[in-house]
Structure 1
Amino acid sequence: MPVWSPSPVLADIMKLLCSVCDEGKIKAAVRHSRRGALVTGAVAFVGGLVGGPPGIALGGAVGGLLGAWMTSGQFEPIPQILMELPPAEQQKLFDKAIAIVRHLDWTDLEQLTTLVMGSESLKQKLVTMLVNYVTKELGAKIQYHD
């Protein structure tokens, strides 16, 4: 089976997205947020079996606290998450990003990055697209750092 290697343009767009995220210091919890949700649901279920409707409420509260504790401090920088995405997911992001920067005239990554970083509007559009993708497609929780 051949090893997948991204096209140079796709790789440039992924690097641009990483730069935009690095500047905003955005992190996400992907793998661990699912685990936290599973713990919350499991504890609520057990609470329901043991205590009926009040047990569900108590189990949900306890499970939610336990799930939140499990996922705290488990955030990864979005650039790391983006570079670990499978090729099909990187292609989805590429298509969404190209739709945003399509009108720009650029020849290389450095020029594209300069154009995007010089425009608050373009940066915001790319960040919004990334946050929507990471939260909806990957089920992640987002964390911003100053």
Structure 2
Amino acid sequence: MPLHVDDIMRLLCHISGEQKMKAAVKHSARGALAAGTGAFLGGLMGGPPGIAVGGAVGGLLGAWMSSGQFKPVPQILMEMPPAQQQKLCENIYTIISNLDWTDATHLIMLVMGNASLQQKVAAALINYVSQDLKAEIQYGD
């Protein structure tokens, strides 16, 4: 059976939606840059005490910037470029390749009806989001 990216993406959106998965990509480099910039500007404007104040303000700003904003995983999946979607679907297809489905609805029904298979697909999705996208996953509202 050929790889049906749209069907598999709908399956992944369904599973991640049911589990209320959210993910945030951390931006630690931006946070470090903000902290360093704050200390530098503080030093220029206020000398040694300015470095301390600027570093503190920059550090707070950097921490806020690096915390990441959580978005629903289904939204993240649908916004991924086609090449990333293809790679993810290839990973999932290795798990569901023995299934014979006609459309996305049928695929979702088959996977959701098998707890073991559902768990394997969810684990592969979580692994992809956390390893390849370097995102932190959160569950619930």
TM-score (norm 1): 0.71
Using the TM superposition, give the Cα deviation of residue 68 of structure 1 relative to its aligned residue in structure 2, in angstroms. Answer: 5.3
Residue of structure 2 equivalent to 1:3: none
Question: 5+ residue gaps in structure 2?
Answer: none
Question: 5+ residue gaps in structure 1?
Answer: 1-6
Whether contact under 8 Å (1:39, 1:66) holds in the other structure is no
Using the TM superposition, give the Cα deviation of residue 66 of structure 1 relative to its aligned residue in structure 2, in angstroms. Answer: 3.5
Residue of structure 2 equivalent to 1:133: 128
Residue of structure 2 equivalent to 1:41: 32
Q: Which amino acid aligns with 2:123?
A: T
Using the TM superposition, give the Cα deviation of residue 47 of structure 1 relative to its aligned residue in structure 2, in angstroms. Answer: 9.3
Using the TM superposition, give the Cα deviation of residue 62 of structure 1 relative to its aligned residue in structure 2, in angstroms. Answer: 5.5
Q: Sequence identity of aligned pairs in percent?
A: 44
Whether contact under 8 Å (1:27, 1:77) holds in the other structure is yes
Instruction: Say which of 117, 124, 136 aligns to 2:119.
Output: 124
Alpha-carbon distance between aligned partners in 1 of 2:34 and 2:106, rounded to the nearest angstrom = 52
Alpha-carbon distance between aligned partners in 2 of 1:89 and 1:79, rounded to the nearest angstrom = 14
Moved over 2 A (4+): 39-51, 61-69
Where do 1:1-146 residues align within 5 Å?
9-30=4-25, 33-34=26-27, 37-42=28-33, 65-67=63-65, 71=68, 74-145=69-140
Are residues 78 and 103 of structure 1, via their aligned partners in 2, closer, same or farther at CA, if it must alter by over 3 Å?
Answer: same
Whether contact under 8 Å (1:21, 1:78) holds in the other structure is yes
Tell me the number of residue pairs that the alignment of Structure 1 and Structure 2 aligns: 128
Alpha-carbon distance between aligned partners in 2 of 1:65 and 1:48, rounded to the nearest angstrom = 14
Q: Which amino acid aligns with 1:78?
A: V
